[in-house]
Amino acid sequence: MLHALHCETTAQWLVEYWLDFRRRFVSLLAFQFRTFPTSLALSVAVNRAANPKQQTLTKQEMDVLLTKYDVKRLEMYCNNLVDYHLVVDLLPTLARLYFLNKMGDVHLSAVQAALLLGMGLQHKVVDSLVSELELPASQLLGLFNRSTRRMVTFLVALVEGAVAETLLAPSRPTDTPHAHRLQSLSSELDQAADELKKKQNEELKKLKKQNLSQYAIKGS
């Protein structure tokens, strides 16, 4: 592993190098590195010494990766209403978000992280992880359920936060078609009023001239 020398500030290039390496390694865990022991893959994917802050997942990014029905399925699994097989297709997305530090303060234990990496990134079945992690399948599934709950809590909070921002955002009536029509009608009325006032002033001037002409002194 590469390490920065002791200095006041860590070289930015080293941080960017690590982030790029981790991103590529996470993707390759489903291919050439699928045969790696889960513990080894986890030690490579997680570097506590170089863990820069990553931008947390946004609602717009989440909508690209997960639908509202996907989140509903995850909630059902967390509430023990469906079996974990119903959410297996979502594990690669969840695992990638977690190991790329896109889930904010969501923290998993070492076993939970290894389980998520093995199932979500290496596409291993529970039975193969039983021998690797030396834990019974029932305990692994229990740990997996608890880790999924933490991730789903983050996703639900993200959705609720976006809804709250929408409700609290100041209304912009001028952006609606109805408001545009009202604004156009108001402009037309103002213009018509100005034209009418101008016409009345012209008529008044003509009337004054006619009245004064009656009293004009005619020459003999």
Residue-wise pLDDT for 106-160, tens only, equals: 999 999 999 999 999 999 999 999 999 999 999 999 999 999 999 999 999 998 8
Confidence of residue 105 (pLDDT cuts 50, 70, 90): confident
pLDDT digit string, tens, across residues 145-188: 999 999 999 999 998 888 888 887 666 555 556 556 656 666 77
Is the pLDDT at 9 greater than 80? The verdict is no
Q: What are the backbone dihedrals phi and psi of residue 194, each rounded to the nearest 5 degrees, phi first?
A: -65, -40
**Measured over all CA atoms, what is the biggest interatomic distance in the chain, rounded to whole angstroms?**
132
Instruction: Give the list of residues 6+ apart from residue 130 with CB closer than 8 angstroms, or none.
Output: 136, 137, 140
pLDDT one-digit tens code per residue, 55-87: 889 899 999 999 999 999 999 999 999 999 999
Q: What is the pLDDT of residue 146?
A: 95
- How is the chain split into domains, by residue range? 9-168, 178-207
Residue 19: pLDDT above 50? yes
Provide the whole-model pTM. 0.69
- Give the pLDDT band (50/70/90) at residue 220: very low
Tell whether the model's pLDDT for residue 4 goes beyond 60.
no
DSSP string for residues in 73-98: HHHHHHTTSS-GGGGGGGHHHHHHHH
Round to whole Å and give the CA distance between 54 and 99.
11
Q: Decide: 80 and 152 in contact? Cβ < 8 Å.
A: no
pLDDT band at 204; cut points 50, 70, 90: confident
